[in-house]
Structure 1
C-alpha cells in the first residue's frame, strides 16, 4: 500500500482526548461524514456522537454511519429511528439474522474504527463509540487513535466510501450507493510519511501482518508493542524471538485483567518461549487495555484497530496507520513506557516455571481449544499448527 508524504498526525490518548476532538470535527463538518465503528453504545458518548451526527445531517451534511452487525447488534430500535429521522444513513455491516447460525462467514466482522470528514480530516485507531469507564475502581480504558490531515486523508475517505458502497450494494440500498462528489483534494500540511494499511478478505488478507513482519525483521535496536489481544501465529512469534536473539530489545505490554477469557489464557502459552528468548513482557493491571500500537527503532510506528490475534489477522476488516516519524514515534513510545512504569507488572520467567499445575494446564487447554475452533472454521491452519 502506497506511502504518502506531507501529512500531519496527532496522537490521541484514550477517549479523554479522542472524543472531544471527534465531536469538534463532527460539529464543523460541511459536506460529508463517514464513521465506522465495531461497537456503538447508546451511553453518554454514544448519545453525544449521535447528536453531533444528527445535527450535521439536519444542516445538509451527507452522513454515513456504518457499524458492525454483531458488535452493535443491540443498538435499540428507538435509537436507530432517531438517527434515521434526522437524515443519518445507518447501515449494519453483515447484520445478524440468527444468534445460533453456524457459519464461518459470521467471523468476518467490520472491526475498523475510522472516520472521514469532508475528505480533509481523518481519524484512525482502536477506540469504539462508547464510554471508556468500565467501573468505579478501574482506570479509563487504555487506547489510542490518530487524527490526520494531508494527502493520506484521501485514502481514508476512499476506504470508507468503498466499504459503504459495498455494504449498500449487498443490502439493496441503491439509493444510498451514490455519494457526493469529492471536494478539494487535501493539500500537504505536514512532514510525516504515512500510509493506510487495511486488512480484508480479498486482496489484503495479510497486509497488516506483513507490515508488522517487515518492520520487526528490519529492527536493529528496539521493538515495543502494546496490544490488548495477543495471540500471534508462527510467523510473528518467530520474528519476535529472532529479533530478541539478535540483540534487539523486545518489549510487549499486554492485557493483565481478564476480558476475553479464552484468549486471555491461551496467550499465556506463549509466555515461556518468549521470555526464554529474552522478550520482556508486562501486564497492564489498573484497568482494561484496548490499545493496538507498536513503535520500532523509535521511528516506525503503527496505530489502528488490529489486534495481533486470529480474529484480527485472519478474519476481520481492520485499518491501521503506519508512519515513519521520530517525533510521533517518541511520543507514542513515551506514553507506552509511562503505562509500563506506573500501571503494569512485569512477568518473569520464574513466574511461569513455578506456576502450579492447574495454572499451566489452563493456558494449554485454552490454546488447544482456540486451535480446535480455528480448525473447525478453516482459518489459520498454517499459522497455528503448533
Structure 2
C-alpha cells in the first residue's frame, strides 16, 4: 500500500500519530513538497499535488475530486460535501497507473535520491470493458500545462444545445469566460452550478465579480447551498462529460497537478446530468439578473476589493497576467 499526499493540503488533517500508525502498519507514505514554510514564501510552492487518484493492482482506478477526509465531522451537522468520482476499468487504466507511479518515483528521487518505482513504467494496454470512450487528461507544469483547459474549451466551443458546469472554485480566465458567453449568445443553454457557502472569503467574492457579464450574456448561475460544493464536473450536449480534480480557477489551471477523466458516452452523460439536475432542484438557488443588480453597496464594494486583491496577487506571483484580466474591465456590478 502506497499513499502520497500533498504536504500543504493535508497539513491540518494529517497528524503525526496518524502518519505513525500508517507507517507502523506497513503503509509506504510520502509527502509531496513538504517544504511548507509560511515565513519564507516562494511562488513555486503553490505548485501543489491536487489530484485525487487511486488504483488497485492496476485492475481498476478511481478518478475524481473527493478528498479522503471525514466529511461527517463538521460543526452544525452540515451534510457531507457534494462531490464526484468515477470507477475506471479498461484501456485507459495504464495511463492512470503510469501517472501515479511517475509522480511517486519523482518524489522518491527528490527526497531520497533513489526510487524503487521506474520513472517511466511500461504497462500493458488494458482490455476493453464496456462501450464508453474515455481519455485521462492531466495538468502539470511541463508538457501538459493547458491540456485540461483546452479539453474544456474544445467542448464549449462546439456545444450545440446545453452546457452544465458544476465547480466549487470558479474564477476562469478571459478565454474561458468568452467561450461560455459566446455559447450562451448563440443559443446554447449554459448553466453554472457554483458555491453558495463561504469557504475561502477572497475567492468567494472575487468569483462574484464575474456574475454581471455572465448573466448579461445569458448564462444561468445556480448557487448550491445545501452543503459545501466540492464538485469539478461538467456535461456538454448529450455525449460529453468530465469528472476530475480540476477547478476552473487560477490555482488549478495555472499551478497545480490535476487529473480529469473525459468521457464520450450518452448513458454516462445522462446519469451525470440527472444528478446535477437533482442537485440544482433540491439544493440550489438561481441568481436572478434583476435582483443581482440591486445588491447592497457593501456587497458590491466587497466584490470589487476581492477582485482587485486577486488581480494584484496573481500579478505579484507572475501567474495569469493578461490571460486572466481584461484591460479596462468595468468595475464589477
| TM-score greater than 0.5 by the shorter chain | yes
Q: Which residue of 2 aligns with 1:373?
A: 313
Q: Which residue of 1 aligns with 2:66?
A: 127
How much does 1:183 deviate? 7.4
Residue 221 (structure 2) aligned to one of 281, 288, 307: 281
Q: Which residue of 2 aligns with 1:157?
A: 97
Q: 1:245 to 1:178 in 2, by over 3 A?
A: closer
Q: TM-score, normalised by structure 1?
A: 0.81
Q: Which residue of 2 aligns with 1:20?
A: none
Q: Which residue of 2 aligns with 1:341?
A: 281
Q: Which residue of 1 aligns with 2:211?
A: 271
Please give the alpha-carbon distance, in whole angstroms, between the structure 1 residues aligned to 2:122 and 2:59.
10
Please give the alpha-carbon distance, in whole angstroms, between the structure 2 residues aligned to 1:271 and 1:97.
34
Residue 89 (structure 1) aligned to one of 17, 28, 39: 28
Q: 1:173 to 1:123 in 2, by over 3 A?
A: farther
Structure with more strand by fraction: 1
How much does 1:243 deviate? 0.2
**Match of 1:220, SS?**
coil
Alignment of structure 1 residues 230-245 onto 2, 5 Å: 230-245=170-185
Alignment of structure 1 residues 79-228 onto 2, 5 Å: 79-133=18-72, 134-172=74-112, 174-177=114-117, 185-228=125-168
Q: 1:226 to 1:97 in 2, by over 3 A?
A: closer
**Match of 1:65, SS?**
strand
Q: TM-score, normalised by structure 2?
A: 0.94
1:66 matched to 2:4: yes
- Asked whether the equivalents of residues 105 and 115 of structure 2 are also in contact (C-alpha less than 8 Å), the reply is no
Deviations for 1:52-90, whole angstroms, at most 9, x for unmatched residues? xxxxxxxxxxx2211001011242222212222222111
**Match of 2:136, SS?**
strand
- Asked whether the equivalents of residues 73 and 95 of structure 1 are also in contact (C-alpha less than 8 Å), the reply is no
- Asked whether the equivalents of residues 111 and 305 of structure 1 are also in contact (C-alpha less than 8 Å), the reply is yes
Q: 1:291 to 1:148 in 2, by over 3 A?
A: same
- Asked whether the equivalents of residues 7 and 31 of structure 2 are also in contact (C-alpha less than 8 Å), the reply is yes
Q: Which residue of 2 aligns with 1:59?
A: none
Q: 1:299 to 1:178 in 2, by over 3 A?
A: closer
1:302 matched to 2:258: no
Structure 1: runs of 5 or more not aligned: 1-62
Please give the alpha-carbon distance, in whole angstroms, between the structure 2 residues aligned to 1:225 and 1:145.
15
- Asked whether the equivalents of residues 169 and 177 of structure 1 are also in contact (C-alpha less than 8 Å), the reply is no
Q: 1:264 to 1:123 in 2, by over 3 A?
A: same
Please give the alpha-carbon distance, in whole angstroms, between the structure 1 residues aligned to 2:24 and 2:123.
26
Q: 1:113 to 1:100 in 2, by over 3 A?
A: same
- Asked whether the equivalents of residues 102 and 118 of structure 2 are also in contact (C-alpha less than 8 Å), the reply is no
Q: 1:317 to 1:340 in 2, by over 3 A?
A: same
- Asked whether the equivalents of residues 227 and 255 of structure 1 are also in contact (C-alpha less than 8 Å), the reply is yes
